[in-house]
Structure 1
Amino acid sequence: MMRAARVLAAASLLAFPAGAQTPAQTATQSAEQAAADLRAAIETLDKADGARNRIAALTQTIRAYELGLGALREGLRSSALKEGEIRARFDARRDTIGQLLAAMAAMEAAPGPLVLLHPDGPEAAARSGMILASVQPALEAEAARLRGDLQEIARMRALQDSALAALQEGLAAAQASRTALSQAVQDRTDLPQRFLEDPEELRALVENAETLEGFARGVARLQSDVGPPMEDFEGAKGTLPLPVVGTLLRRAGEADAAGIVRPGVLIATRPAALVTTPWLATIRYRGPLLDYKNVMILEPASGYLLVLAGLATVYGETGDVLDAGAPVGLMGGEEAALSEGAGAERTETLYIEVRQDAEPIDPAPWFEQLREE
């Protein structure tokens, strides 16, 4: 009876729902899917046809690569953590598992009639049999989980071996795509122009600018030919994608390390990240400004301005009308060599403002990724 009780106690510690998917399996599947998406993004380059279509295809490829790269690295990190958890859990319960296996081996080795004998009589023997019968499902579930954990570790190791090749291939393709995109944008001649600003007036604004705030207000005051009606920008509030793949570093109104408060949001990005326009827009200004590196000011609708600051490279000319998702530039820096954790840090920052009638408004409610529920 005591042996059966010990077996039941051990089995209760090891119980795991049969057929359930472990967090490790979920992490590995996510990483494998990210690797597949990354390879699929690389293959889209071969389908680009024509100058404008090629720009769209290159943009799509670079953005898919950046998303896939982030997901794959995150998946690899998560898989490595789960592998460590599996091994730690196994080590922590090694003694319990050993005791359980020894007890079961002893019961299997004992002759059938002896198992039925019990020093306390038939009733105790019956209770012992019921306890042993209840242990079996828990043992089977634990054995299945242990097999699954071992298989998952093997999958993780295989994924880690193949992921480096995918990342190296993706890095080379992304670098080539960025170069090709820059050339394709330079060669583009078929973009419509919504207006042509007076270069003298705009140049004077740049030369006399003391702050981004003052410059943005000056651009908003410049007269322009409104041209054809723009799409319903106000109706898109809350659904816009971020112009760049990254994470929120600072919200509007939050002070930075120097105590400076700005009306825009700051997004941390990886080096050389692609920046796109989240909405159909006209370029009102593009170029260097103060200490913001390059600034891109877009007009998605009459009375609205979208300010992007901190780019290393900007595309297009003042007056160009861009489709939603069109490339407007690249962040600075170089993507690091691909080893575990290398290049994963978001070392660049993109500053984003939204202005209505020249006044800054909180950008967060406009972008789906930044909305606070």
Structure 2
Amino acid sequence: MKWLALCLFCLPGLALAQGDPGEAARAAADRLNAAAQALDQAKSARNRVKALTETVHAYEDGLQAVREGLRRAAIREETLARELAAQEEDIARLLGVLQSIGSAPAPVFLLHPTGPVGTARSGMILADVTPALEQKAARLRAQLQEVSTLRLLQQTAADKLQQGLNGAQQARTALSQAIADRAELPRRFTEDPTKTALLIASTETLEGFASGLNEIAIDEAPGSLPGVVERKGTLPLPVRGSILRRADERDAAGIARPGIVMATRPHALVTTPAAATVRYQGPLLDYGNVIILEPQSGLLMVFAGLAVVYGKIGEVLPGGSPVGLMGGDGAGDGAILSQISNETGAAQTETLYIEVREDNIPVNPEAWFQTEKDD
């Protein structure tokens, strides 16, 4: 009996769940359901581009929430599995003792070889041990039930994730079509294609290209859009993601650029941080597809590395308007299904370069955008 008491009190404690990953996953599924409803409603919306832009963002938020819920559930299941495995030997011994006690005839069990005093002491030990035994057994049952629930939840959430990925793709396709079908936006100027081609061919740096942008404009309207200086430091980033490299940090090749690099998920939507004129869009130097926006005179925002670019040179876009999509084959979308590690950057396989120029002089973009300074 003393050995039984020692065995019970020396069993490692079972870690309690911190938060409820199951509830988080269910809440994320609700967000995806809401995004699906928004997609249906966007088909008849008066401003389909705006409605579909919000829908795509809703899908991005919902998918991120589902991934996080799945990640937390997978981590919790792995933790429980390790705890159970670590206690496997102790639990087997305990079960053996309990079976031997249960198989002994009641009169024999109640008597002790040393006589009445020994029997009394045994009864006292058993009375002390029984509550702890019941508590350990209850925690073990709860743990096993939690493992079963988490596995079922992960399968359900994985199915919902796949549905969400399909819905997001439908929303992106509908958005592209809506942009193609929309009426002409206000234009501040018309592009001269010949001058644009000559400018691209004659420049070797972004600075040189930016300095010649005014040359490609024909019949430009005087004045400028309302200034955004009062919003400096609070503008939303053009894409959902995390800062991979800050201004003037060298990359793997040793190259330092004055802008920041955002890590994003495949096919992420890129939008205008504020109302702006499209000064240029298309391939440029070694930056890939680029769009250059002018929120106010003398201020340029350069977004480079897009797979698809929306808008026409000279158009004035409202704040929050879609200007492009990131690339990628989407292979990283389901990475969480087979990974339980923190995948902050694992599925963010695409990169968007952001540069801000004031009077054609590059400045730190973080001075303009609302970012997490301690990323």
TM-score interval, normalised by the smaller of the two chains: 0.7 to 0.9
CA contact (8 A) 1:51 1:188 kept: no
How far apart are residue 41 of structure 1 and its match?
Answer: 1.1
- Please say if 1:26 is aligned against 2:20: yes
Report the 3-state secondary structure (helix = DSSP H, G, I; strand = E; otherwise coil) of the residue aligned with 1:291: coil
Alignment of 1:150-229 (within 5 A): 150-189=144-183, 191-193=185-187, 195-196=188-189, 199=192, 202=196, 204-219=198-213, 225-229=222-226
In 2: Cα distance, 1:112 partner to 1:119 partner: 15
Distance verdict in 2 for CA 1:156–1:2, change over 3 Å? closer
* Most deviating of 72-81 and 249-258: 72-81
- State the TM-score, normalizing by the size of structure 2: 0.80
Distance verdict in 2 for CA 1:88–1:367, change over 3 Å? same
Residues 54-84 of structure 1 deviation map (CA, whole Å, 9 limit, x = unaligned): 1122112222222332332343244223322
Amino acid at match of 1:292: Y
Question: Which one of 340, 348, 351 corresponds to residue 349 of structure 1?
Answer: 351
- State the TM-score, normalizing by the size of structure 1: 0.80
Distance verdict in 2 for CA 1:154–1:367, change over 3 Å? farther
Report the 3-state secondary structure (helix = DSSP H, G, I; strand = E; otherwise coil) of the residue aligned with 1:345: coil
CA contact (8 A) 2:5 2:129 kept: no
CA contact (8 A) 2:14 2:83 kept: no
In 1: Cα distance, 2:45 partner to 2:199 partner: 34
> Gaps (5+ residues) in structure 1?
none
Question: Which one of 215, 235, 257 corresponds to residue 231 of structure 2?
Answer: 235
Distance verdict in 2 for CA 1:270–1:192, change over 3 Å? same
Distance verdict in 2 for CA 1:30–1:216, change over 3 Å? farther
Amino acid at match of 2:13: L
Q: Determine the structure 2 residue equivalent to 1:294.
A: 289
How far apart are residue 275 of structure 1 and its match?
Answer: 1.0
Amino acid at match of 1:358: N
Report the 3-state secondary structure (helix = DSSP H, G, I; strand = E; otherwise coil) of the residue aligned with 1:56: helix
CA contact (8 A) 1:10 1:96 kept: no
Q: Determine the structure 1 residue equivalent to 2:315.
A: 320
CA contact (8 A) 1:246 1:267 kept: yes
- Aligned-residue RMSD, C-alpha: 3.8
In 2: Cα distance, 1:358 partner to 1:284 partner: 13
What is the total number of aligned residue pairs between the two structures?
363
* Most deviating of 110-119 and 86-95: 110-119
In 2: Cα distance, 1:316 partner to 1:3 partner: 78
Distance verdict in 2 for CA 1:211–1:107, change over 3 Å? same
Q: Determine the structure 1 residue equivalent to 2:140.
A: 146
CA contact (8 A) 1:315 1:328 kept: yes
In 2: Cα distance, 1:145 partner to 1:46 partner: 46
> Gaps (5+ residues) in structure 2?
339-345
Amino acid at match of 2:25: A
Distance verdict in 2 for CA 1:227–1:256, change over 3 Å? closer
Question: Which one of 75, 79, 82 corresponds to residue 81 of structure 1?
Answer: 75
Distance verdict in 2 for CA 1:363–1:148, change over 3 Å? farther
How far apart are residue 338 of structure 1 and its match?
Answer: 6.8
In 1: Cα distance, 2:201 partner to 2:237 partner: 30
In 1: Cα distance, 2:63 partner to 2:304 partner: 24
How far apart are residue 311 of structure 1 and its match?
Answer: 1.0
How far apart are residue 261 of structure 1 and its match?
Answer: 0.6
CA contact (8 A) 1:310 1:350 kept: yes
Amino acid at match of 1:205: L
Aligned-pair identity (%)? 46
CA contact (8 A) 1:267 1:349 kept: yes
Q: Determine the structure 2 residue equivalent to 1:10.
A: 10
- Please say if 1:67 is aligned against 2:61: yes
How far apart are residue 308 of structure 1 and its match?
Answer: 0.1
In 2: Cα distance, 1:92 partner to 1:307 partner: 54
Distance verdict in 2 for CA 1:135–1:315, change over 3 Å? same
Amino acid at match of 1:14: G
Report the 3-state secondary structure (helix = DSSP H, G, I; strand = E; otherwise coil) of the residue aligned with 1:283: strand
How far apart are residue 179 of structure 1 and its match?
Answer: 1.9
In 2: Cα distance, 1:133 partner to 1:218 partner: 87
Q: Determine the structure 2 residue equivalent to 1:58.
A: 52
CA contact (8 A) 2:70 2:336 kept: no
* Most deviating of 196-205 and 282-291: 196-205
CA contact (8 A) 1:265 1:351 kept: yes
Distance verdict in 2 for CA 1:118–1:10, change over 3 Å? farther
Distance verdict in 2 for CA 1:331–1:2, change over 3 Å? same
Amino acid at match of 1:9: F
Distance verdict in 2 for CA 1:300–1:155, change over 3 Å? farther
How far apart are residue 37 of structure 1 and its match?
Answer: 1.7
Distance verdict in 2 for CA 1:264–1:227, change over 3 Å? closer
- Please say if 1:361 is aligned against 2:342: no
* Most deviating of 127-136 and 174-183: 127-136
* Most deviating of 244-253 and 111-120: 111-120
Question: Which one of 264, 271, 276 corresponds to residue 271 of structure 2?
Answer: 276
